Amino acid sequence: MSFKDLKLSKPLLRAVAEAGYDNPTLVQEKTIPLILDKKDVIVSAQTGTGKTAAFALPILQSLLDKQDAPKKGKTIKALIVSPTRELAIQIEDNFKTYCKHTNLRTTVVFGGASLEPQKDTLKKGVDILIATPGRLLDLHKQDLVNLDYVETLVLDEADLMLDMGFIDDVRKIERLCTKEKQILLFSATIPHKVEQLANSILTTPERVEVAQNSSTSKNVAQLLYFVPKKSKIELCLHLLRNTIKGNIIIFRRTKYGVDKLEKTLLNNDYKVDSIHGDKSQTSRQDALNRFKTGEVNILIATDVAARGIDINDLDAVVNFDLPNVPETYVHRIGRTARAGNTGMAYSLCSADEKSYLKTIQQLIQIQLDVIEDHPYPLDPKAEPIIHKSKKTGSKHRKGRKSEASKKKKKRWY
């Protein structure tokens, strides 16, 4: 099947061709006709299947079909609700790519960023709004968004949205839109609570199911941040403040790194504990219990210390340091999204870890989703910092070991 068969008009076909897409993906083939037919749909598809275009293209097509109507001030006709700021930004990027040969306007609003620029864009009028739930409700309360004209409501990553505790917000948003709207629910998995939500707000929905494309990406959104080594702590704090919520494991390669990060997070009033090989069994068990009972929601760990521990309900895994053994990456992120839940994996990659990243991506056969929009970007030309071992230098700043010595010796955590 080609995109032309999907009855998309020229400006969209041109944008899709320029994006380098030859043919629609399976989820696009199955979903686009249903959306154009104004059906409510429940789509179970992972990130990486092309699901964003599966709703973005038919939404744009429907808006283009209506553009002959006399030009009034722009009103929000499509609303996409997304659980996280990163996903919201990605969705907007997608919309921007596909609508670049049209005069449709889109914008994105999310928490943790200044209200003013978002207010200004909204005042100018947009056709498509992408939003995280909290910020959308804030703006609505202040009378800065009008949802009276929404014809299509998309709930993206619905399972994640519910896991993050947005159920009441989602229901509120649904009620704020017109009754007659079309609702599109996208979710990596359809657990009972998503099914319940769908039953209560969708009207005789059609269902589309697309199989996973890789064991690692099962239900995990894998995001990658390039960041200078010295800024990793700042970026980690920024993500914890704005993006990463819930029960989190942060992996570091060394015990020293675990202790250092724990101190920083404690100083910033996070509820955190840690496990690594230098801690006594009792203190490790205490840390685990505090994590499991919810007394703390962040656990910092080395790989060996965390191995084999069954920790349920993990919302996110943070690879503060990328592992030098690629299989370790798969084990780490396998700790989130267990038992059909969804999860997030955030990887922070500095210049000297790019070779690890390469081997990880080769192993899992997936390119991680690079998030460029963050305050500590890495200069793409940055060279790895090689610490020459000096007698006066810290023992934690030794250069990397040779491949041969890595094989022979036990790792240092």
Q: What is the residue-wise DSSP string for 82-103?
A: -SSHHHHHHHHHHHHHHTTTS-
Residue 52 touches ligand AMP, criterion: CB under 6 A = yes
Q: Are strands 78-81 and 128-131 parallel, antiparallel or unpaired?
A: parallel
Query: Which amino acid type is present at position 154?
Result: V
> Should residue 24 be labelled a site residue for ligand AMP when binding is judged by CB under 6 A?
yes
Which residue, among 83, 88, 36, 44, has the nearest Cα to 64 in the 3D structure? 36
H or E segment and range at residue 163? helix 158-163
C-beta atoms surrounding 310 within 10 Å: 8
30, 51, 332, 335: which one contacts ligand AMP (CB under 6 A)?
51
Closest CA to 46 of 95, 87, 6: 87
CA distance 327 to 219: 18
CB of 223 to ligand AMP, least distance (A): 11
Smallest gap from residue 135 Cβ to ligand AMP (A): 22
CB of 379 to ligand AMP, least distance (A): 24
- Region of 43-51, 167-175, 194-202, 267-275 interacting with ligand AMP (CB under 6 A): 43-51
Residue closer to ligand AMP (CB basis): 21 or 226: 21
Q: How far is the CB of 112 from ligand AMP (least distance, A)?
A: 22
Q: How far is the CB of 205 from ligand AMP (least distance, A)?
A: 20
Q: Which of 44, 49, 106, 342 binds ligand AMP (CB under 6 A)?
A: 49
As a whole number of angstroms, the longest Cα–Cα distance in the chain is: 76
Q: How far apart (Å, rounded) are the C-alpha atoms in residues 320 and 261?
A: 10
Total residues at interface with ligand AMP (CB under 6 A)? 11
Interaction of residue 217 with ligand AMP, rule CB under 6 A? no
Residue 277, C-beta contacts closer than 8 angstroms, at least 6 positions apart? 255, 302, 304, 305, 413
157 versus 353: smaller Cβ distance to ligand AMP: 157
Helix 167-176 and helix 192-201: axis angle, to 10°?
A: 20
Nearer to ligand AMP, 36 or 115 (CB): 36
Q: How many residues does the chain have?
A: 413
Residues 220-239 contacting ligand AMP, CB under 6 A: none
Decide whether 9 or 254 has the Cβ nearer to ligand AMP. 9
Query: What is the edge-to-edge ordering of all strands in the sheet holding 182-187?
Result: 106-109, 128-131, 78-81, 152-155, 182-187, 41-44, 206-209
- To ligand AMP, the closest distance from the beta carbon of 293 in angstroms equals 35
* Residue 261: strand, helix, or coil: helix
How far apart CA 335 and CA 313 sit, in angstroms, is: 9
* Binding of residue 133 to ligand AMP (CB under 6 A): no
Stretch near ligand AMP under the rule CB under 6 A, chosen from 44-52, 131-139, 324-332, 401-409: 44-52
Among 53, 126, 305, 364, binds ligand AMP (CB under 6 A): 53
* Minimum CB distance to ligand AMP smaller for 128 or for 296: 128
Answer for which of 33, 48, 326, 334 binds ligand AMP (CB under 6 A) is: 48
Least separation in angstroms between residue 374's CB and ligand AMP is 18
Closest CA to 43 of 230, 194, 225: 194
b vs e for 68-78, b when ≥16 Cβ sit within 10 Å of the residue's Cβ?
eeeeeeeebbb
User: Which listed range, 42-50, 120-128, 200-208, 309-317, lies at the site for ligand AMP (CB under 6 A)?
Assistant: 42-50
Cβ proximity of 348 and 354 under 8 Å: no
Interface with ligand AMP by CB under 6 A: which range of 23-31, 59-67, 205-213, 395-403?
23-31
Q: Rule CB under 6 A: is residue 82 a binding residue for ligand AMP?
A: no
Pairing of the two strands 220-226 and 369-370: parallel
Within 10 angstroms of residue 60's Cβ, the number of other Cβ atoms is 25
- Tell me the closest approach of the beta carbon of residue 214 to ligand AMP, in angstroms: 12
CB atoms inside a 10 Å sphere around CB 155: 28
118 binds ligand AMP (CB under 6 A): no
The stretch near ligand AMP (CB under 6 A) out of 46-54, 75-83, 122-130, 134-142 is: 46-54
C-beta of 5 vs 168, nearer to ligand AMP: 5
Query: Which positions touch ligand AMP (CB under 6 A)?
Result: 21, 24-25, 28, 47-53
